Chain A
Amino acid sequence: MALLEVKDLHTSFFTDAGEVRAVNGVSFNLERGKVLGIVGESGSGKSVTAYSIMQILAGTGKIVSGSIKLDGQELVGAGEKVMKDVRGNKISIIFQDPMTSLNPTYTIGRQLMEAILLHTDRNKQQAWDRAVEMLRLVNVNEPEKRMKQYPYEFSGGMRQRVMIAMALACEPDILIADEPTTALDVTIQAGILELMKDIQSKIGMAIIMITHDLGVVAQLCDEIIVMYAGSICEQGTADEIFYNPCHEYTKGLLRSIPTVEGSGEKLEPISGTPIDLLNMPKGCPFAPRCDAAMKICLRERCERMEINEDHAAACWMNVRKAVKGE
């Protein structure tokens, strides 16, 4: 049994302008100790998927239907009491902006100890020791001294390390990282990614890495989900996604970024503008921007199809290939 099973998840925001279907039928499994990357542009539903798992959606957001099972336990409709136990204890989340995720009026130590005291039976002294141990794990120098300092005394990279320490303090089974390095510089980003990889191999938790940066997922992830307009376009191992993309959107994304090999060749952008979630087309959500779109793409949404055992995509082009025997 997979550690986390998400099945046909639908999450909507009910706004004055109408229902915004932010997540539209997302299903995936996460195995113990694996790193899953969710890639997509703004509005693709990648963060809302994560917030749905944690059930920390903003006021107007609601899980409409679907199932989220953690170790076989259903979380949708489970109630706040169950979720309080899940959050921080079994699933932790770190956010994009380490500048605003910490409370500026409390010391780092107090904020680290809060989660430990809440979720475990440790007394204050034990919690303090555990917090120091966690800071050491994320390579913060002089952890005893740092415990007494306030967030403003930390740099961006250091704050993100503190957030990771906080998220891992209760040894969760799953760490959700929502664009954890987007606000950081490249050399600092490389350090944080390495740290996550390192801790993951030490502790063996599973990671869901949410990002728009294809470079970041290539560094870290075993498996990748590509999302567009609230749905999964394509899902597979990192090698399958990068070297054998089977959805026109993934192909377009990979063509539109500059490669390592060099400059010179023109980038091939994806034409058009991102989709308006209030006016979703009937067929494939990517069809209006897709150069290869066929009549069926505008009429009917393609179901998820297996390409091979490590790879699935929802694109009619694969059917056409199959029919033509290519």
Chain B
Amino acid sequence: MSTNNHSEQPIIEVRHLKQYFNISTGFFQSRPLKAVDDISFSIREGETLGLVGESGCGKTTAGRTILHLYKPTDGEVIYRGKPIKTAKDIEQFRTKATMVFQDPYSSLDPRMTVADIIGEPLDVHHMYKTKEERREKILELMSHVGLNSEHAARYAHEFSGGQRQRVGIARSLAVNPDFIVCDEPVSALDVSIQAQVINMFDELQDRLGLTYLFIAHDLLVVRHISDRIAVMYLGRMVELADANEIYDRPLHPYTKALISAVPVPDPKTARENKRIALSGEIPSPLNAPAGCPFHTRCPYAQPKCKESMPPFEEVEKGRYVACHRTAEIN
């Protein structure tokens, strides 16, 4: 949802971030899998940046690398003007930046009560003085996400998917963060429950002034919740723009195809059928093509697309695209 009260000051800046995993390809041989390959962007305070792309495009890895759950191969993450480098930086950063995971069924410890799940980050970061204070904090967090105090002594299996995701969100809020990476937080939930959780993200943002990196593959949901949207393909960022702009007027050929493929819940629009068909499959990130990663499937590809990687540049104010032919095809 568009909240226009965010400032121009970036809270998170990501510069040339790379995350390569070494994959063994034989005896004593390995090759880097470029999960995230040189992405740069910044998120303003109070903003929601949506990150979309298909499976294997590196969106989840990007979110985790930003939080330094993986050590970045190269590049830097800057939080409020200060680069995160040392172990101490990381520890401090983790009290300001947290994560909500996709699967509320496997991300909660089945042997812990809800109170302990939510209280664990408080224990780790020594954020209370007395038992009483800990208890009060946990109850406050539970009320933030719409859980009752009577839920505190229960176990995760006693809850439905939507309630579990509320527990996960309360846990991520425990350390008083101002930045949350939400990794597909509603895709495991039923349609009628999704809207409850999406609205809760909106309310928490208004109330607590949170900034989100919202990773998802459901474009209608991302567009609803985000101020700006970034699109990734094979570890690269191909387009970044205002949420409505990118949806109504995508510039990159991949974004165009992605948006045209969204199954719109409206039979009349569906009958018009303006889908842009993509040939082929997503190449393996182990054998990413040279040049523009999208050229193997791109309907506009030319020889130069095979040779050089197009730069990710600002083509209009606030609109970034990585395509050699942006001006010609639009």
Residues on A with C-beta less than 8 A from B223 are 258, 262-263
Q: Is A73 an interface residue (CB 8 A)?
A: no
CA distance A188 to B258 in the complex (A): 10
Residues on B with C-beta less than 8 A from A273 are 160, 162-163, 193
| Cβ distance B157 to chain A, nearest Cβ, rounded Å | 14
Residues on B with C-beta less than 8 A from A191 are 277-278
Q: Contact between B54 and A185 (Cβ–Cβ < 8 Å)?
A: yes
- State which of B31-39, B70-78, B194-202, B309-317 sits at the interface with chain A: B194-202
Q: Contact between B55 and A185 (Cβ–Cβ < 8 Å)?
A: yes
Q: Contact between A41 and B221 (Cβ–Cβ < 8 Å)?
A: no
Q: Contact between B263 and A263 (Cβ–Cβ < 8 Å)?
A: no
Known contacts A258-B223, A266-B199, A269-B192; is A187 also within 8 Å of B270 by CB? no
Segment 1-39 of B: residues with Cβ below 8 Å from A: 1-2
Q: Mark B273-284, 1 if CB is under 8 A from A, else 0.
A: 001011001100
Q: Is A267 an interface residue (CB 8 A)?
A: yes
Q: Is A256 an interface residue (CB 8 A)?
A: yes
Q: Contact between B261 and A186 (Cβ–Cβ < 8 Å)?
A: yes
Known contacts A187-B261, A258-B224; is A263 also within 8 Å of B195 by CB? no
Known contacts A252-B192, A268-B195; is A260 also within 8 Å of B264 by CB? yes
CA distance A155 to B247 in the complex (A): 28
Residues on A with C-beta less than 8 A from B192 are 41, 252-253, 256, 269-270, 274
CA distance A185 to B217 in the complex (A): 8
Q: Which residue of B lies closest to A197 (CB)?
A: B273
| Cβ distance B278 to chain A, nearest Cβ, rounded Å | 5
| Cβ distance B299 to chain A, nearest Cβ, rounded Å | 13
Q: Contact between B160 and A242 (Cβ–Cβ < 8 Å)?
A: no
Q: Contact between A157 and B264 (Cβ–Cβ < 8 Å)?
A: no
Q: Contact between B193 and A269 (Cβ–Cβ < 8 Å)?
A: yes
Q: Which residue of A lies closest to B262 (CB)?
A: A186
Q: Contact between B194 and A256 (Cβ–Cβ < 8 Å)?
A: yes
Which among A41, A263, A268 is the interface contact of B191 at CB below 8 angstroms? A41
- State which of A75-83, A172-180, A213-221 sits at the interface with chain B: A213-221
Known contacts A41-B190, A257-B220, A258-B224; is A274 also within 8 Å of B261 by CB? no
Q: Is B266 an interface residue (CB 8 A)?
A: yes
Q: Is A144 an interface residue (CB 8 A)?
A: no
Q: Which residue of A lies closest to B275 (CB)?
A: A190
Q: Contact between B263 and A218 (Cβ–Cβ < 8 Å)?
A: yes
Q: Which residue of B lies closest to A39 (CB)?
A: B191
| Cβ distance B191 to chain A, nearest Cβ, rounded Å | 6
Q: Contact between A257 and B195 (Cβ–Cβ < 8 Å)?
A: yes
CA distance A13 to B261 in the complex (A): 38
Q: Which residue of B lies closest to A249 (CB)?
A: B192
Residues on B with C-beta less than 8 A from A42 are 190
Q: Is B181 an interface residue (CB 8 A)?
A: no
Q: Is A169 an interface residue (CB 8 A)?
A: no
Q: Contact between B275 and A270 (Cβ–Cβ < 8 Å)?
A: no
Q: Is B287 an interface residue (CB 8 A)?
A: no
Q: Is B303 an interface residue (CB 8 A)?
A: no
| Cβ distance A25 to chain B, nearest Cβ, rounded Å | 22
CA distance A214 to B221 in the complex (A): 13
Segment 220-263 of B: residues with Cβ below 8 Å from A: 220-221, 223-226, 243-244, 247, 257-258, 260-263
Q: Which residue of B lies closest to A215 (CB)?
A: B263
B194, B196, B258, B265 interface centre (most CB from chain A within 10 Å)? B265
Known contacts A187-B258, A260-B220; is A253 also within 8 Å of B191 by CB? yes
Known contacts A157-B281, A187-B54; is A216 also within 8 Å of B263 by CB? yes
Segment 200-228 of A: residues with Cβ below 8 Å from B: 212-216, 218-219
Q: Contact between A218 and B196 (Cβ–Cβ < 8 Å)?
A: no
Which among A158, A189, A212, A268 is the interface contact of B281 at CB below 8 angstroms? A158
Residues on A with C-beta less than 8 A from B247 are 262
Which among B217, B225, B244, B261 is the interface contact of A190 at CB below 8 angstroms? B261
Residues on B with C-beta less than 8 A from A238 are 267
Residues on B with C-beta less than 8 A from A19 are none
| Cβ distance A179 to chain B, nearest Cβ, rounded Å | 13
| Cβ distance A91 to chain B, nearest Cβ, rounded Å | 25
Which among B198, B258, B260, B270 is the interface contact of A219 at CB below 8 angstroms? B270
Q: Contact between B267 and A256 (Cβ–Cβ < 8 Å)?
A: no
Instruction: Provide a sorted-by-A list of 14 A–B residue pairs whose CB atoms are within 8 angstroms.
Output: A41-B192, A42-B190, A191-B278, A212-B190, A215-B220, A219-B263, A252-B192, A253-B191, A257-B195, A266-B202, A268-B195, A269-B194, A271-B196, A274-B160
Counting from the closest, the 7 A-B pairs by CB-CB distance are A215-B263, A269-B195, A256-B195, A190-B261, A258-B224, A185-B54, A270-B192
| B residues apposed to A, CB below 8 Å | 1-2, 54-55, 160, 162-163, 190-196, 198-199, 202, 217, 219-221, 223-226, 243-244, 247, 257-258, 260-270, 275, 277-278, 281-282
18 new A-B contacts at CB < 8 Å, known A190-B260, A271-B196: A41-B191, A186-B54, A188-B281, A191-B278, A213-B191, A214-B191, A215-B262, A215-B264, A218-B263, A218-B266, A239-B267, A242-B266, A259-B220, A260-B220, A263-B224, A263-B243, A266-B1, A269-B192
